[in-house]
């Protein structure tokens, strides 16, 4: 049985509509549709939320589905890259600041592009942290 079939079957057994499940998981109804039709795969946080909602172990949920396992591995390595990119961009900003102070050369275009990328990466990183914090608060209640 595919992951989508498992999600659909569990949702129907629980007597939930796609909209109701979407509200419980804090996602869109379209996301539920994608997952149930195997056109999309939930990220790790949503897999955990699904397993909690239906009282399934993660193993029961993803057992035998190599695509889901590859996505989990890719997601975890992608998070590490966000931190690395943030550190790299901070180093570039420091390098630009050094040139501005020591050599009186201000690379404004390069600085703007770097700051844009840095804020974009920080936004992703912070959004992920907030989501995890909300998820932990919900589990405590």
Residue 32, pLDDT score: 94
Residue 73 is given by DSSP the state: H
- Mean pLDDT, rounded, of the chain: 85
Residue 40, pLDDT score: 87
Report percent pLDDT > 90 for the chain: 46
Considering the domain delimited by 3-62, tell me its CATH architecture: Orthogonal Bundle (1.10)
Query: Does the pLDDT value for residue 136 go beyond 70?
Result: no
Q: Is residue 137 very low, low, confident or very high in pLDDT (cuts 50, 70, 90)?
A: low
Q: Three-state DSSP class for 131?
A: helix
User: Where are the domains positioned within the chain?
Assistant: 3-62, 77-140
Contact yes or no for 4/38 (Cβ under 8 A): yes
Query: Does the pLDDT value for residue 139 go beyond 70?
Result: no
pTM for the predicted model, two decimal places:
0.55
Write the pLDDT tens digit of every residue in 3-52. Answer: 899 999 999 999 999 999 999 999 999 999 999 998 988 888 888 899 99
Long-range contacts of 68-74 (CB under 8 A, 24+ apart): 68/3, 68/41, 71/41, 71/43, 72/44, 72/47
Q: What angle do CA 77, 90, 45 make, to 5 degrees?
A: 30
Write the pLDDT tens digit of every residue in 64-87. Answer: 777 777 777 766 666 777 888 889
Residue 8, pLDDT score: 94
């Amino acid at each position: 049985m595919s992951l989508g079939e498992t999600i659909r079957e569990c949702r129907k057994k629980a007597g939930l509509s796609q909209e109701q499940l979407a509200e419980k998981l804090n996602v869109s109804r379209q996301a539920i549709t994608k997952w149930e039709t195997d056109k999309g795969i939930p990220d790790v946080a949503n897999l955990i939320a699904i397993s909690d909602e239906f009282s399934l172990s993660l193993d029961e949920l993803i057992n035998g589905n190599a695509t889901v396992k590859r996505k989990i591995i890719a997601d975890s390595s992608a998070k590490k890259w966000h931190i690395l990119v943030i550190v790299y961009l901070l180093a570039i900003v420091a390098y630009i600041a050094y040139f501005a102070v020591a050599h009186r050369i201000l690379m404004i275009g390069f600085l703007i592009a770097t700051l844009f990328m840095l804020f974009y990466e920080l936004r992703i990183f912070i959004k992920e942290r907030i989501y995890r914090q909300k998820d932990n608060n919900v589990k405590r209640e």
